[in-house]
Amino acid sequence: MAITIACNNAEIVTLDEFIDYVHTHVDLQDLDSVAAAAPKFRSLANDRALVVRHLNRQVKENFRSQVIPSAQALFLGDGRDFYVRANIWPSNADLASGRVYQDQFSYNLAHDHNYSFMTVGYHGPGYITEVYEYDFDKIVGNAGEAVDLRFVERIHFTTGMVMLYRASKDVHTQFPPDDLGITLNFMVATPEVRVRDQFFFDVEKKTLLDYPTELDSSRRISVLKIAGQVGDGNTQDLLDAIGSSHPCRRTRIAACESLSQLNPATAARVWERAAADPERLVANTARQRLASLSA
């Protein structure tokens, strides 16, 4: 389950000190090691000017460059395979008034994360979150698929609290706070994150809903769909290579789909190869496509 970590300390560390601490003391592949960084992360949250300093800098830079910053996330700093950000959580009143666009904040929508991360309440009354867990290895990845989704707890995540969420294990639904809130997130961004799936869930039906559109894999798939409509001979070679060897299973499927669209004569060969893929999601999709071709 997602881990709530008690670490009520008064120490204050700077962002640079926290980044140095992670480099020298934390093994990002070991969740116990990540959890042990909670007191130091809590010390970073004790810097009450941290977010304001970075907000002022971003406002200055973006007004000068006319680039619109993210409404939710404020990048603070990074290190090797991790970064730190502040997340902004608008209130119910903000959403009701139309001052912010709700879909940016994933409220009221159960989801997991394809990365592990630690979060600490930084400002405001905090939001309510419902936490579930599931076994990633027991699902295929199809929309509508049944999931053994187990409810763990409903918790009011307030200022000063620290929680650790495990990649592809913990699922949570967040509800808007009564007033604007801010959390700090210590994000583990090791290489496998770029190819691991992430999901939305229907907690009442205990099924998978869909994949978030902001995933790296979803962006790759959008490009591959375009390639399948306007590509040339060189594109076919690229799609063929991606369909057979890319580490992301959804990307392999999308490459096969686009190659079959671009050159229908190769479709049977492409899907026969994909039918032998070690990932069930790829192999099952390939068998469905082969059945359609036979029909």
- pLDDT value of residue 69: 55
What is the chain written as a DSSP string? -PEEE---------HHHHHHHHHHH--TT-HHHHHTTHHHHHHHHT-TTHHHHHHHHHHHHHHHHTPPPPSSEEEEEEETTEEEEEEEE--HHHHHHTSS-GGGTTBT-EE--SS-EEEEEEESS-EEEEEEE--GGG----TT-B---EEEEEEEE-BT-EEEEPTTTEEEEEE--SS-EEEEEEEE--GGGGG----EEETTTTEEEE--TTSHHHHHHHHHHHHHHH--HHHHHHHHHHHHH-S-HHHHHHHHHHHHHH-GGGHHHHHHHHTT-SSHHHHHHHHHHHHHHH-
- pLDDT value of residue 295: 79
Q: Which of 99-113, 115-129, 168-182, 229-243 has the lowest mean pLDDT?
A: 99-113
How large is the average pLDDT for residues 82-109?
Answer: 80
How do residues 150-168 score in pLDDT, each as one tens digit?
999 999 999 999 999 999 9
Cα–Cα distance between 150 and 66 in angstroms, integer?
A: 45
How do residues 63-89 score in pLDDT, each as one tens digit?
665 555 556 789 999 999 999 999 999
- pLDDT value of residue 64: 62
- pLDDT value of residue 153: 96
Domains, the chain, in order of start with CATH, read 3-210 (2.60.120.10), 216-286 (no CATH)
How large is the average pLDDT for residues 182-198?
Answer: 92
What is 185-208 written as a DSSP string? EEEE--GGGGG----EEETTTTEE
First to last CA, the chain: 46
- The amino acid at residue 178 is D
Provide the whole-model pTM: 0.87
- pLDDT value of residue 241: 94
pLDDT band at 254 (very low <50, low <70, confident <90, very high): very high
- pLDDT value of residue 270: 95
Cα–Cα distance between 75 and 61 in angstroms, integer?
A: 13
| Percentage of the chain lying above the pLDDT 70 cut | 93
Computed over every residue of the chain, the mean pLDDT equals 91
pLDDT band at 194 (very low <50, low <70, confident <90, very high): confident
Q: Are 41 and 34 in contact (CB under 8 A)?
A: no
Q: Which of 12-21, 216-225, 269-278 has the lowest mean pLDDT?
A: 216-225
- pLDDT value of residue 105: 66
pLDDT band at 62 (very low <50, low <70, confident <90, very high): low
Which one has a higher pLDDT value, 101 or 233? 233
- pLDDT value of residue 288: 94
- pLDDT value of residue 27: 98
Cα–Cα distance between 262 and 244 in angstroms, integer?
A: 16
Q: Please give the order of strands across the beta sheet that includes 73-79.
A: 3-5, 162-165, 117-123, 181-188, 82-89, 73-79
Q: Which of 147-156, 223-232, 238-247, 261-270 has the lowest mean pLDDT?
A: 223-232
How large is the average pLDDT for residues 206-233?
Answer: 86
How do residues 277-288 score in pLDDT, each as one tens digit?
999 999 999 999
Contacts of 83 (CB under 8 A, 6+ apart): 75, 76, 77, 187, 189
| Percentage of the chain lying above the pLDDT 90 cut | 74
pLDDT band at 95 (very low <50, low <70, confident <90, very high): confident
- pLDDT value of residue 65: 56
